[in-house]
Structure 1
Amino acid sequence: MAYAVVARYRCEPADAAAVRAALLTVREHTRAEPANLAYEVHAEAETPGSFVLYEQYTDRAGFEAHKTAGHFQELIVDTVWPLLTDRSVTFAEVL
């Protein structure tokens, strides 16, 4: 059963360009992962510095593998997360 992740990231508007660039780079790497079915990055139109990510993997193991990828560590953990003022993540199984 497919596994979905919805992440909401918020940063200061001054950091939005750096976060956006990192998220778009992660998108390209993640889409090449064998278990990835979808990875979309959205910027909230009315809230500068707010992003919504929608990710879908073949299963939870595929998502766990994604978290161990070098690009996840470098671009999300080391680059994006330190710039965030708020972060929430929802995990769901696709029906």
Structure 2
Amino acid sequence: MKESYGLMVRFTLRDADAASSFDALVARTLKGIDAGEPGTLVYVSHRSRDEPLVRVFYELYADRASFDAHERQPHTQHFLAEREQYVSSVEVTFLDAVAGKVRAQR
């Protein structure tokens, strides 16, 4: 857990149509992550209950090298380029693990 590398990203989307398109982009991106990123331990997109245009991502990687490998993937590069048309703001918080439990991968 100590070597893990985490971040939280808060996206505020432009409107309901942008939110729908953004969610579809995320679903396509997740297929690439699932298919071949063994160092990506957690990658979850959350919808805010109180703010329908907000999405919060929680990402956890085995280490910094795994995060860097994720960032180089074609599906990630596509996501980063395409998301801009849907997003009005992005806030990124990098995290250091203090304690916790991560379920082993299957």
TM-score, length basis structure 2? 0.81
Partner of 1:57: 61
Partner of 2:102: none
Pick from 32, 47, 67 the counterpart of residue 29 of structure 1.
32
Partner of 2:74: 70
Counterpart-to-counterpart distance in 2, 1:5 and 1:81: 19
Percent sequence identity is 27
Counterpart-to-counterpart distance in 1, 2:70 and 2:84: 16
Residue 69 (structure 1) shift: 0.4
Q: Give unmatched runs, 5+ long, in structure 2.
A: 99-106
TM-score, length basis structure 1? 0.89
Aligned residues: 94
Counterpart-to-counterpart distance in 1, 2:38 and 2:90: 26
Partner of 2:94: 91
Q: CA RMSD in A?
A: 1.3
Q: Which moved more, 1:61-70 or 1:18-27?
A: 18-27
- Is structure 2 residue 28 aligned with structure 1 residue 15? no
Counterpart-to-counterpart distance in 1, 2:84 and 2:7: 16
Q: Hey, which bits of structure 1, 4+ residues long, moved more than 6 A?
A: none
- Preserved contact between residue 24 and residue 41 of structure 1 (Cα < 8 Å): no
Q: Give unmatched runs, 5+ long, in structure 1.
A: none
Q: Secondary structure at the match of 1:51?
A: strand
Higher strand fraction (1 or 2): 1
Q: Secondary structure at the match of 1:64?
A: helix
- Is structure 2 residue 82 aligned with structure 1 residue 79? yes
Counterpart-to-counterpart distance in 1, 2:59 and 2:53: 19
